[in-house]
Amino acid sequence: MENMLRNFSKLVHLRYLRIVKGYFQELSLSNIISRFYHLRILDVRQCSGHFNLPSDMSNLIKLRHFLDPNDSFHSAIANVGKLKCLQELKRFEVKGQAEAFALRQIGQLEELKGSLCIYNLENAETGEEANLLNKRHLHKLVLVWSDDSSQAEHVLENLKPHSNLAHHGELWLVNASGEESLGCTTSQSFQKLKRLELLGIPQLAKWVGNDASHVFSLLEVFIIRDCPELMELPFSHSTCPRSGQEMNLTQFPTLRELEVVNCPKLSSFPHIPWTSSPCRVLIDEVGSDFQRLDYSKNNQSEFCLKVVGKDGHLDMSFWNVLAFSNLTELKVLYLKKCPPLPLKHLLVLSCLRSPTIHDSSNVLLNVEAENTGGYQFQIEGLSIDDCSCSGKELTLLLSLFPKLSMFSLQGCGKIRVLGVAKEQTMAMPALSSSPSGHKLEDAHIGQEQEQEQLRGEDEKAAADAGLLLLPHQLQELNISEIPELILQFDSLVDGMAGGLRSIGGGLQGLHFLRTLTIRGCPNFLSSYYSSSSSSCFPFPSSLQYLHLDGVGGMETLAPLSNLSSLKCMDLRGEDLSSLLAHGQLTNLNIFETPKFFVGCGSDSLRLQCLQTDDITKVLAAPICSLLASSLTSLTISWNDEVERFTKEQSAALLLLSSLQDLEFWYCSELQSLPTGLHRLTSLKRLKIWSCPAIRSLP
């Protein structure tokens, strides 16, 4: 290496040079690089601050690509016009009368093909010497003024790019004052512009000019960022209650992307989306009632809308910005701190499948204030997080979704009792027109009035109890972080709002339930152990996936022994050996359960994947013998005690003849792995993650 560095300056035919951080720490390359007259590519993207450009960098007349980490090296090249083969100049700073940094240096670069960014244009007297019209291969052009300049309009008019840029490239205009420069964009050269960005213009208050739709008729992307004084854009055409102006984007038929970020005084926006065709919208930190509005497609090419409101009282005019008629293809909806969405708007969202409501004073709909008769929605999944809705409101809401299969409820403190709604059977008896029939009718009316009075009392009792009744068709249920929530076993009330009735027996009424997750609900099963129905099972036998965490009363899990269809379980408890021996359980995550495998018998188990913290109980010959033919994946994690495996434990592990994946996670004291792992002939993957004390591998 030393000999090579000593003779480095003699490599005059060098074509490619890459300098990496840490190399050449004691060697100055400043005067050496300029001797490589044949150099085509210079890459200093990973170079440290020890590297400085040579003053005669312009000697590299055959240089095509100069790759630097932050574009600062580009702006330091004096007489860059001599590098006639250069294909990209990411930063050029005009420095007044200094010839080495005059705008005419740009004019000599005829091979530019990528990006060209010109800064400090207030120092330029004319733009013609940049000769942009002849740069037909540019893909991106950035023009920046740092200060006000009386010559800005004249310079900009003479910086007309080649027409190819309008067809295929990007043009950014950035000006400290903004108004004069943007006002001169009526030039014919911008009529084919497809992308326009206004970035960091602190004094821009409005965009003057009334013919923006004519000038930018082919605009596809419009981005505005960091313009704190901006209050008006040239799309204004009519009056809206809040700002006095409303943006109209129907004049821009090709616009497909709108982004407005950090413009706190701008409160006027177009109806979003302005078209039913695919488009993207991001509005964030502006002067309207909403904090953020994001409309785009997700990774599954589904249309998604996220709306975040601001703190404070918001009325129904909040929704006026949305053009619901153009949201018929919306699949995913996320609302946070928003007022209730009226039923008439939700009804338009015919493709909506999975809304999420977070941190709102009410749920998705103000169902109690509206006549819900006749409404049937196609919602399949619903998530309610940290909302102050009552059990009655939420019960009514769920009754409107006959196809609801997934429901998630988190942090809703007003919900204190959970039950299952009885399937309704509505039947009206035929009434006779005879006198006796009228008597029957009178008796029937009286009976209805009495039932109505009783139902009202029942509804009040249910509301006071915070009762939520779940629809019977649910297949997936997730409940988390509601400390006071209990599961209903005995009938709490006879009826519920809207004719809904509750049934006892825990969640047994959810005959189609496949997945159940309960987290952070310590009292969830308290009524089960104290009720007369404790001999019944709280969950339906249809369950296949069960996760219980932070649920009290789990000293024994005998109440779960009916779950014969269970395939995957993640919980803390014990005495569940019957599920392993006689059920369908194939995937198990089990922690803090030293007695879990006690009494497993002698029959082989069907378990395929196991994650546990219990090295002592699992890596024992009797247990590993039962798992030998089925277990393919074993993860030992979250153990802070074991330092090394005993001979008996290593030998037991070798009994797992079907094991293909072995992983160790977060075992802070573990110093070595079990011995003899090479004898596990089926093992394909070994993974060690966050085990800092490991000193050696087998």
pLDDT at 94 over 80: yes
Which is more confidently placed, 270 or 281? 281
pLDDT in tens, 324-365: 999 999 999 999 998 888 888 888 998 999 999 998 876 655
pLDDT at 2 over 50: no
pLDDT in tens, 439-488: 445 555 555 555 545 444 554 555 556 899 999 999 999 999 999 999 98
pLDDT at 147 over 70: no
- The three-state secondary structure class of 321 is helix
Find where tokens 């110093």 sit.
671
Q: What is the mean pLDDT of residues 271-275?
A: 86
Residues 6+ apart with CB under 8 A from 527: 486, 487, 488, 489, 490
The pLDDT, as a whole number, for residue 175 is 54
Which is more confidently placed, 287 or 5? 287
Are 80 and 89 in contact, with CB atoms under 8 Å apart?
Answer: yes
Q: How confident is the model at residue 431 (pLDDT cuts 50, 70, 90)?
A: very low
Could you give the angle at the alpha carbon of 604 between the alpha carbons of 553 and 609, nearest 5°? 60
The pLDDT, as a whole number, for residue 416 is 92
CA–CA separation, 304 and 297 (whole Å): 6
The mean pLDDT of the chain is 77
Q: What is the mean pLDDT of residues 111-125?
A: 84
Q: What is the mean pLDDT of residues 86-91?
A: 89
3-state helix, strand, coil in the chain (%, to 5): 20, 25, 55
- The amino acid present at 19, given as its one-letter code, is I
The pLDDT, as a whole number, for residue 179 is 43
Lowest mean pLDDT among 106-115, 146-155, 192-201, 261-270: 146-155
Which is more confidently placed, 8 or 668? 668
Smallest CA-to-CA distance from 642 within 598, 694, 572 is with 694
pLDDT at 626 over 90: no
The pLDDT, as a whole number, for residue 274 is 85
- Percentage of the chain exceeding pLDDT 70: 71
CA–CA separation, 402 and 474 (whole Å): 10
Q: How confident is the model at residue 317 (pLDDT cuts 50, 70, 90)?
A: confident
pLDDT at 26 over 80: no
pLDDT in tens, 570-618: 765 444 555 565 556 788 888 776 666 665 656 677 789 999 988 888 8
Q: What's this model's pTM, rounded to 2 decimal places? A: 0.64
CA–CA separation, 192 and 218 (whole Å): 6
pLDDT at 501 over 70: no
Question: Token pair of 138, please?
Answer: 């540019």
pLDDT at 495 over 60: no
The pLDDT, as a whole number, for residue 433 is 41
Smallest CA-to-CA distance from 271 within 301, 250, 242, 294 is with 250
The pLDDT, as a whole number, for residue 373 is 56
pLDDT in tens, 362-397: 665 555 555 555 667 889 999 999 988 888 888 988
Question: Token pair of 95, please?
Answer: 């420095």
pLDDT at 322 over 60: yes
Instruction: Report the DSSP beta bridge partners of residue 55.
Output: none
pLDDT at 408 over 50: yes
Q: What is the mean pLDDT of residues 203-219?
A: 67
CA–CA separation, 342 and 104 (whole Å): 62
Q: How confident is the model at residue 250 (pLDDT cuts 50, 70, 90)?
A: low
pLDDT in tens, 149-206: 566 667 777 777 777 765 555 555 555 544 434 444 444 555 667 888 888 887 788 7
CA–CA separation, 403 and 473 (whole Å): 7
CA–CA separation, 673 and 691 (whole Å): 11
β pairing state of 41-46 and 587-590: unpaired
The pLDDT, as a whole number, for residue 494 is 43
Find where tokens 């002592």 sit.
616
CA–CA separation, 310 and 337 (whole Å): 7
pLDDT at 497 over 70: no
Query: What are the chain's domains?
Result: 1-69 (no CATH), 390-423+462-553 (no CATH), 567-698 (3.80.10)
pLDDT in tens, 478-493: 999 999 999 987 654 4
Q: How confident is the model at residue 21 (pLDDT cuts 50, 70, 90)?
A: low
Smallest CA-to-CA distance from 697 within 680, 682, 675 is with 675
